[in-house]
Amino acid sequence: MTELLTTSEAAGRLKVTPRMLEARRSRGGGPPFVKVGRAVRYREADLEAWIAERTRASTSDPGES
């Protein structure tokens, strides 16, 4: 079974604030998340994939569209 991380745990792994993840959840653009009842959880594999999608070679590299 995949371990599910809380917002605080996921934020810690990403070195961002929980508030940033909360904002991205409501506006879009954040890592995929899972709803377990009313609780929000993140899968580690989804966090890793989200990071990989944002890897750039330079600051002018727009990435894939």
Q: Residue 36 in contact with residue 5, Cβ under 8 Å?
A: no
Domain around 43: 4-53
**pLDDT tens, 3-62?**
999 999 999 999 999 999 999 999 999 999 999 999 999 999 999 999 999 988 888 877
Q: What pLDDT, on a 0 to 100 scale, did the predictor assign at position 64?
A: 64
Residue 65 has pLDDT above 60, yes or no: no
Asked if residue 64 is part of any domain, the answer here is no
Asked if residue 60 is part of any domain, the answer here is no
Q: What pLDDT, on a 0 to 100 scale, did the predictor assign at position 35?
A: 96
64 or 46: whose pLDDT is higher? 46
| Torsion angle, alpha carbons of 9, 39, 21, 51, to 10 | 60
Q: Residue 21 in contact with residue 7, Cβ under 8 Å?
A: yes
Domain count, the chain: 1
pTM over 0.75: yes
